[in-house]
Amino acid sequence: MKLKNGYIPENSIFITKDPRKNRWAIPFHYEAVNVRAQTLLDENIEHIKGKRILDLGCHFGTFSYIALQLGAEFVLGVDSSADLIKQAKEMFTASSVPEDKYGFIIQDVIKYLENLSEKSFDTILCFGLLYYIPDNYHFLKLLKKAAKDAIIIDTFTAYYSLIQGKDAVEANSIIKDDIFKLPVMMHSLTQAKKKYYSLPGSFKGQNKKLSFLSCPTIPLLELYFKSLGFKFRQLDWSQYLKNPQKNWQDLTSSQGKIDSHWTDLYSTDVRVSYLLNL
Ligand SMILES: C[S@@+](CC[C@H](N)C(=O)[O-])C[C@H]1O[C@@H](n2cnc3c(N)ncnc32)[C@H](O)[C@@H]1O
């Protein structure tokens, strides 16, 4: 694996304080964060260096921080979780990031984007967020309005809604592969209260707060991009894939998940990333 050092070192607080290190889907350990930084940010450096960047669903600012390390002019992080934004501010202060280089806002991204002027940012980062937005298409339209040059997306696809949970094997044994070649949206319900944040826009069901997971197939995602007039390209994860031969069904069982490497999400198209140009 070609892993550049220095986006974020192993002893950085953005690594040591992240409780998501051992999470199955997209862990936040040293290797995964750095490989994502390289593929999503450094390999698109022309859209990062010297640019004004909006980081949507920024969590506690790990990728905002790395974008600044890579020479971004300014980064604004938006997240609906007040606790995470508080932590982001503390971590940026502790890391001595100059205050004029960043800002953080607690808000639902849809509300934030609806009130934003056209072309307010050069580049928008949208990592791990699209599938939490019930109307992906409306969201993409708002991104198009807010960005001057580029949007970088890293997201789960429809396969993800089928591999979630212990019952995935039984629940999904009747789904055939052909449906994924079509432009289809797969919705599933998800608990609004996650371990590290709560989803906004939730509703009550069976005494729980629920939200939608809205996971488009790749053909649907690309149909959205085309219909909005984006030029787009899938980002290349091939140099990092440990098991390029796996498919999404290999990740449905608990044992399949235990036996997997986090990059299997990319080799199976359960997760994809794109550069969109305007
Ligand atoms: C899976 S995490 C992604 C973190 C980071 N961007 C990454 O990819 O590593 C999703 C983040 O999006 C935030 N989020 C989810 N829905 C949101 C919404 N509608 N508006 C603002 N933030 C939202 C959550 O609070 C959480 O911090």
80 lines ligand 1 (CB under 6 A): yes
pLDDT tens, residue order, the chain (278 aa): 445 557 999 999 999 999 988 888 899 999 999 999 999 999 999 999 999 999 999 999 999 999 999 999 999 999 999 999 999 999 999 999 999 999 999 999 999 999 999 999 999 999 999 999 999 999 999 999 999 999 999 999 999 988 887 777 777 777 888 999 999 999 988 888 888 888 887 788 878 888 889 999 999 999 999 999 999 999 999 999 999 999 998 998 889 999 999 999 999 999 999 999 99
Residue 2 lies in a domain: no
**Residue 3 belongs to some domain of the structure:** no
Alpha-carbon distances of 16 from 36, 73, 83, 118, 257, rounded to whole Å: 17, 26, 18, 38, 24
Asked whether residue 5 is assigned to any structural domain, the reply reads no
**pTM for the structure as a whole:** 0.96
Please give the distance, rounded to the nearest whole angstrom, from the Cα atom of residue 41 to the centre of ligand 1: 18
Q: Which atom of ligand 1 is nearest to the CA of 84?
A: 27
Distance 178 CA to ligand 1 centre (A): 31
DSSP 126: E
**Is residue 4 a part of any domain in this protein?**
no
On whether residue 7 sits in a domain, the answer given is: no
Beta carbon of 197 within 6 Å of any ligand 1 atom = yes
User: Total domain count for the chain?
Assistant: 1
Alpha helices in the chain (DSSP H): 13-16, 30-36, 62-69, 82-94, 109-114, 136-146, 158-163, 168-172, 218-227, 254-258, 264-267
Q: Decide whether any atom of ligand 1 lies within 6 Å of the 129 Cβ.
A: yes
Residues contacting 34, CB < 8 A, separation 6+:
3, 4, 5, 7, 8
CA 50 to centroid of ligand 1, rounded, Å: 25
Per-residue confidence (pLDDT) for residue 154, from 0 to 100: 98
Q: For position 5, what pLDDT does the model report? A: 59
User: How many whole angstroms separate alpha carbon 161 and alpha carbon 83?
Assistant: 27
Closest alpha carbon to 162 in 174, 146, 178: 174
Is position 8 within any domain? Answer: no
Q: Is 230 within the bounds of a domain?
A: yes
The verdict on the CB of residue 60 being under 6 Å from ligand 1 is no
Helices (H) and strands (E) in the chain, counts: 11, 10
What CATH number has the domain bearing residue 115?
3.40.50.150
Q: And the tokens for 250?
A: 């290999």
Other CB atoms within a 10 A radius of the CB of residue 176 amount to: 6
Phi, psi of 251 (to 5 degrees): -105, 10
Domain-embedded: residue 271: yes
**Domain range spanning residue 192?**
13-277
